[in-house]
């Protein structure tokens, strides 16, 4: 990874080609899109938004040329990647370069997600019906010729899934963009400030506004049956999950606990995603009010205990 980051920083052309190749590979291996966005973000963090924009343009042209030689490719792929991935992550990287605040960038990503949700409602009117139609069509093609109780149960779930798909899409997009930004920030620390990103993430605090907004949305969800409220809650929960992860990373570092605790959390995110995300979101929500990390010193002792001993 350090070699790749160092190669990206050799110049605009190298950064653009890396972003382009990784973008094309992401058509087969979707996680490669995180690294593609990180290439643009890293160059932006170090050299500014104008330089990052040039890298994005080089990457878009390169993807268009590469896609032209693919069996089912299209030169428009480059434009799609630029609009959906590189420009949004460039905006986040430029914000981080100016503010030096991960929490500010997460707030900006949340704003992107809110705009996406509102844009869906403005463009299609009823996203639930729109998603239901597409999901039903997909299920019919995927389960063509199959019958039975299990198939009927899957189709019965479509209305509930469709109701929340807009929020899930917005949350997934925001987490994808932030994932690219975090990788870029880590690369930058590896090259120029070893250990810097770990300390920065461990001290991440989103503040009370997001928690207050989430509480208000939860109350509204209890008194009114509006899908848009539930979709906004999903987006807020995804962002609070990052706060929860930062709390756990911070506590493990401050108490010198075994890294296995963190490994276990990430394993749970894979095998029990919904329950783990909700738990981490609740931790993040509570931390906005109680600031759990302030109770622990680097040596793992409790601040209050120290005061009593003094």
Query: Residue 69 above 80 pLDDT?
Result: no
Dmax (CA) for the chain in angstroms is 75
Percentage with pLDDT > 90 across the chain: 70
Please give the pLDDT value at position 73: 65
- Find how far residue 97's CA is from the centre of its chain: 18
Please give the pLDDT value at position 297: 55
Burial track 74-83 (b if 16+ CB lie within 10 A, e otherwise): eeebbeebbe
Query: What is this structure's pTM?
Result: 0.90
> Is 52 exposed, middle or buried, given 0-12, 13-18 or 19+ CB atoms closer than 10 A?
buried
Please give the pLDDT value at position 78: 86
- In the DSSP assignment, the letter for residue 84 is I
**152-200 per-position pLDDT tens digit:** 888 888 899 999 999 999 999 999 999 999 999 999 999 999 989 999 9
Query: Residue 210 above 50 pLDDT?
Result: yes
Pick the range with the lowest mean pLDDT from 64-68, 131-135, 211-215, 253-257.
Answer: 64-68
Question: How much is the CA Rg of the chain, to the nearest whole Å?
Answer: 22
CA-to-CA distance for 113 and 172, rounded, in angstroms? 9
Query: Residue 72 above 70 pLDDT?
Result: no
**212-231 per-position pLDDT tens digit:** 999 999 998 878 778 999 99
């Amino acid at each position: 990874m350090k070699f790749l980051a160092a190669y990206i920083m050799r110049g605009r052309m190298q950064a653009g080609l890396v972003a382009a190749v990784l973008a094309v590979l992401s058509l087969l291996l979707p996680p490669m899109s995180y690294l593609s966005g990180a290439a643009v973000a890293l160059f932006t963090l170090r050299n500014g938004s104008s330089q990052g924009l040039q890298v994005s343009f080089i990457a878009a042209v390169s993807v268009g040329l590469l896609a032209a030689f693919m069996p089912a490719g299209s030169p428009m792929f480059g434009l799609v990647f630029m609009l959906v991935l590189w420009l949004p992550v460039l905006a986040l990287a430029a914000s981080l370069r100016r503010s030096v605040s991960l929490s500010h960038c997460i707030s900006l990503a949340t704003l992107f997600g809110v705009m996406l949700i509102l844009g869906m409602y403005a463009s299609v009117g009823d996203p639930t019906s729109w998603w239901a139609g597409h999901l039903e069509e997909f299920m019919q093609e995927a389960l063509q010729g199959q019958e039975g109780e299990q198939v009927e149960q899957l189709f019965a779930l479509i209305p509930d899934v469709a109701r929340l798909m807009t929020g899930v899409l917005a949350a997934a997009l925001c987490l994808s963009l932030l994932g690219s930004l975090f990788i870029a920030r880590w690369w930058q620390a590896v090259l120029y400030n070893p250990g810097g990103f770990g300390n920065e993430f461990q001290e991440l605090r989103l503040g009370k506004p997001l928690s207050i907004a989430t509480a208000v949305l939860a109350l509204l969800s209890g008194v009114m049956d509006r899908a848009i409220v539930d979709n906004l809650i999903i987006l807020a929960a995804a962002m609070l999950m990052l706060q929860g992860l930062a709390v756990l990373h911070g506590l493990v570092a401050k108490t010198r606990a075994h890294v296995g605790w963190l490994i276990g959390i990430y394993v749970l995110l894979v095998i029990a995603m919904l329950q783990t995300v909700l738990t981490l979101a609740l931790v993040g929500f509570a931390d906005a009010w109680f600031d759990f990390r302030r109770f622990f010193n680097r040596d793992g002792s409790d601040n209050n205990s120290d005061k009593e001993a003094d």
